[in-house]
């Protein structure tokens, strides 16, 4: 007996629209059909567990088979199966009352296709993106049920006939269209299965082997797992990555369902390279690795998986839809990460310090982008000084407060962005008993501003932004061995010798053992240029402005007293200035050649 009919969609335009608009990536058809088979398998298992199905379950699994000669892909399960009536109910009645509106909407190719499709239960029909004809051969688990065959060629017409099938379950047979024959390649199918079906909760067999892990560790309780289990799972996810530093097991069932494992990888400062490493699943079906709405931006460098049936997806299950539950999940993840970091710091500070270079970028980025995270992280964020020692904010404040508070009662934190290049300035600060921090990562230019904003009566200065006396100004006035007239003359000599309008010359009484000439770039200007280079601050013009340096001539240095008495004052002054440039790697090209020649001349005269 054969029954023929029309799929109730009120129009013949529906299938071309499905094929063109349902999913942006046609490979999704396999995820949808395998997921349906898994659902059917889980349902029979559930019915058996509550006594509604009393037959033998057998080995529950889903099979995917490719026949290149017949140009077919078959997805088979031994799940619930369907009666002919159920086929008509679940397969044919796809549009219910809204099909006309659906078609009208999609006459416009620019319409928001992802907003509406899922309302019509079209997951099965993704098959028609790659198949010119689809068959379903199925037998229901219900006692006495007749096997049935459903067939459709992508038009609105279908046929239902009786079929031969001994066991309960369903075969979906796709007769692949000519323009989709790439999906008949076994390597292509294996890649798709590995991407979307790797952790489905029912074994999926392809070419005689099970290709998935039905019980990934995020589905288990943390108490069941050992450290080695987490490390092995990380290796399964990222076979070519270094082992993770540590991990966080997410497991919550109220006010939303969420499980998962987030790993802290070794990332150093590689901001962009590591992104898109968190995979989002819904009931163990892979959805996407674009998780920016679920996971806070600052944690996008983490690796791992998140699984939640409560995360709202668009109807093609390919993208997230932002809503209040996503925001709650985002907040929860932020709190869990902060709590885990605080716990590690509290229980094992030595390990925390050892891993700090790798995790500092997460912590600082989080403090910059989330006030609640800042409040938690301020107790475990670490500052490292040039001696390699680590301090919390409070510890560091207590360490330097007595010696590094200026005459305005401001605490001045000194830092270097390149300890080797700025060595002379670091050494000068240390000779005064000051401590110098290392703030040399990509994010530190922003982190410095955050600290000044959050910490009361505190300012940060780079060690080469001022002479040592001006970095932390005290009430101690230094005497100059030069008269006012001599200082004016010395200033004029240097201005003429330097002959550069971007260099502002000043004569000041520094300590006799300080450098004779000190070249500094003011903190404000350097910060503006740094922020401009980083793409922030809104002061793009700063990047085009030349560097405006301050040149401080040490009135108390014996060399400058000699300059005033020398016959060739300008030559000696230029030599001292070039030495200051050389000490900061600011001398090159013709200027360096001239300096070397002048050095030999002065040595010969001596």
Closest CA to 429 of 458, 388, 462: 462
Residue 444, CB-side half-sphere exposure with 13 Å CA sphere:
20
Residue 170 marked as a ligand binder: yes
Contact (Cβ atoms closer than 8 angstroms) between residue 448 and residue 460: yes
Residue 122 marked as a ligand binder: yes
Contact (Cβ atoms closer than 8 angstroms) between residue 42 and residue 80: no
- DSSP assignment letter at 295: S
Token pair listed for 10: 């009120």
Residue 317 marked as a ligand binder: yes
Token pair listed for 430: 């240390």
End-to-end distance of the chain based on CA atoms, in angstroms?
117
Go through 281-307 and write b for each residue having 16 or more CB atoms within 10 A of its CB, e for each that does not.
Answer: bbbbbbbbeebebbbbebbbbbbbbbb
Residue 178 marked as a ligand binder: no
Residue 233 marked as a ligand binder: no
Residue 82 marked as a ligand binder: yes
SS3 63: strand
Radius of gyration from C-alpha coordinates of the chain: 36
What are the start-end ranges of the E strands in 463-562?
Answer: 503-508, 517-520, 549-554
State how far the alpha carbon of 48 is from the alpha carbons of 422, 476, 600, in Å: 74, 88, 96
Long-range CB contacts (within 8 A, 24+) of 420-426: 421/584, 421/585, 422/462, 422/463, 422/464, 422/584, 424/515, 424/583, 424/584, 425/463, 425/464, 425/468, 426/386, 426/463
Residue 97 marked as a ligand binder: yes
Residue 418 marked as a ligand binder: no
SS3 sequence of 147-216: CEEEEECCCCEEEEEECCCCCCEEEEEEEECHHHHHHHCHHHHHHHHHHHCCCCCCCEEECCEECCCCCC
Bridging pattern class, strands 148-152 and 131-139: antiparallel
- Give the Cα separation of 463 and 461 in Å (integer): 6
Angle separating helix axes 484-498 and 558-565, nearest 10 degrees: 80
Contact (Cβ atoms closer than 8 angstroms) between residue 420 and residue 409: no
DSSP string, 386-443: TTS-EEEHHHHHHHHTTTSB-TTS-EEEEEES-TTTTHHHHHHHHHTT--EEE--STT
Long-range CB contacts (within 8 A, 24+) of 598-606: 598/571, 598/574, 599/575, 602/571, 602/572, 602/575
Residue 85, CB-side half-sphere exposure with 13 Å CA sphere:
3
> How many CB atoms are closer than 10 A to CB 36?
21
Residue 451 marked as a ligand binder: no
Residue 98 marked as a ligand binder: yes
Residues belonging to the chain: 606
Residue 123 marked as a ligand binder: yes
Is residue 268 classed exposed, middle or buried when 0-12, 13-18 and 19+ CB atoms within 10 A define those classes? middle
- Give the Cα separation of 318 and 23 in Å (integer): 8
Residue 32 marked as a ligand binder: yes
- Which residues are part of a known binding site for ATP? 32, 36, 77, 82, 97-98, 119-124, 170, 317
- Which residues are part of a known binding site? 32, 36, 77, 82, 97-98, 119-124, 170, 317
């Amino acid at each position: 007996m054969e029954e023929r009919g029309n799929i109730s969609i009120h129009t013949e335009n529906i299938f071309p629209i499905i094929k063109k608009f349902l999913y942006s990536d046609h490979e999704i058809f396999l995820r949808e059909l395998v997921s349906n088979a898994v659902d059917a398998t889980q349902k029979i298992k559930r019915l058996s567990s509550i006594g509604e199905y009393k037959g033998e379950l057998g080995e529950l699994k889903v099979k995917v088979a490719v026949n290149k000669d017949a140009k077919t892909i078959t997805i088979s399960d031994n799940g619930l199966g369907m009666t002919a009536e159920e086929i008509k109910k679940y397969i044919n009645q796809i549009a219910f009352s809204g099909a006309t509106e659906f078609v009208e909407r999609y006459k416009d190719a620019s319409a928001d296709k992802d907003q509406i499709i899922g309302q019509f239960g079209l997951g099965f029909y993704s098959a028609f993106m790659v198949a010119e004809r689809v068959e379903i051969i199925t037998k229901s688990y219900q006692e006495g049920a007749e096997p049935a065959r459903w067939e459709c060629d992508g038009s609105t017409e279908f046929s239902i006939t009786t079929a031969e099938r001994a066991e309960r379950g369903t075969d979906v047979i796709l007769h692949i269209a000519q323009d989709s024959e790439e999906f008949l390649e076994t390597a292509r199918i294996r890649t798709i299965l590995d991407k979307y079906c790797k952790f489905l909760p029912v074994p999926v067999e392809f070419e005689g082997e099970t290709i998935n892990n039905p019980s990934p560790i995020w589905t288990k309780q943390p108490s069941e797992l050992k450290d080695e289990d987490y490390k092995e799972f990380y290796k399964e996810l990222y076979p070519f990555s270094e082992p993770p530093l540590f991990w966080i097991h997410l497991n919550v069932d109220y006010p939303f369902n969420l499980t998962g494992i987030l790993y802290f990888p070794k990332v150093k400062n590689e901001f962009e390279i590591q992104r898109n490493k968190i995979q989002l699943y819904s009931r163990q079906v892979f959805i996407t690795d674009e998780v920016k709405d679920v996971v806070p931006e600052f944690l996008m460098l983490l690796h791992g998986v998140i699984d939640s049936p409560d995360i709202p997806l668009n109807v093609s299950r390919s993208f997230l839809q932002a809503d209040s539950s996503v925001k709650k999940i985002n907040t929860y993840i932020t709190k869990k990460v902060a709590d885990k970091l605080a716990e590690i710091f509290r229980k094992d500070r030595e390990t925390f310090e050892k891993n700090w270079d790798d995790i500092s970028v997460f912590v600082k980025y989080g403090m910059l982008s989330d006030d609640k995270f800042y409040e938690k992280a301020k107790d475990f964020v670490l500052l490292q000084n040039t001696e390699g020692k680590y301090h919390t904010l409070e510890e560091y404040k207590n360490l330097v407060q007595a010696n590094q508070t200026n005459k305005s009662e401001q605490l001045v934190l000194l830092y270097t962005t390149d300890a080797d290049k700025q060595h002379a300035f670091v050494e000068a600060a240390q000779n005064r008993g000051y401590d110098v921090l290392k703030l040399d990562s990509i994010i530190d230019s922003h982190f410095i501003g955050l600290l000044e904003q959050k910490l009361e009566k505190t300012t940060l200065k780079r060690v080469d932004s001022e002479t040592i006396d001006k970095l932390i100004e005290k009430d101690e006035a230094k005497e100059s061995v030069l008269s006012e007239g001599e200082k004016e003359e010395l200033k004029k000599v240097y201005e003429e010798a330097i002959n550069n309008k971007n260099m502002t010359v000043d004569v000041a009484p520094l300590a006799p053992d300080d450098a004779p000439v000190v070249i500094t770039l003011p903190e404000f200007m350097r910060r503006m240029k740094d922020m401009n280079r980083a793409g922030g601050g809104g002061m793009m013009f700063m990047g085009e402005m030349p560097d405006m340096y301050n040149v401080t001539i040490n009135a108390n240095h014996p060399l400058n007293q000699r300059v005033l008495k020398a016959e060739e004052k300008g030559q000696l002054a230029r030599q001292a200035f070039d030495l200051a440039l050389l000490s900061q790697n600011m001398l090159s090209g013709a200027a360096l050649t001239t300096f070397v020649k002048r050095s030999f001349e002065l040595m010969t005269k001596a």
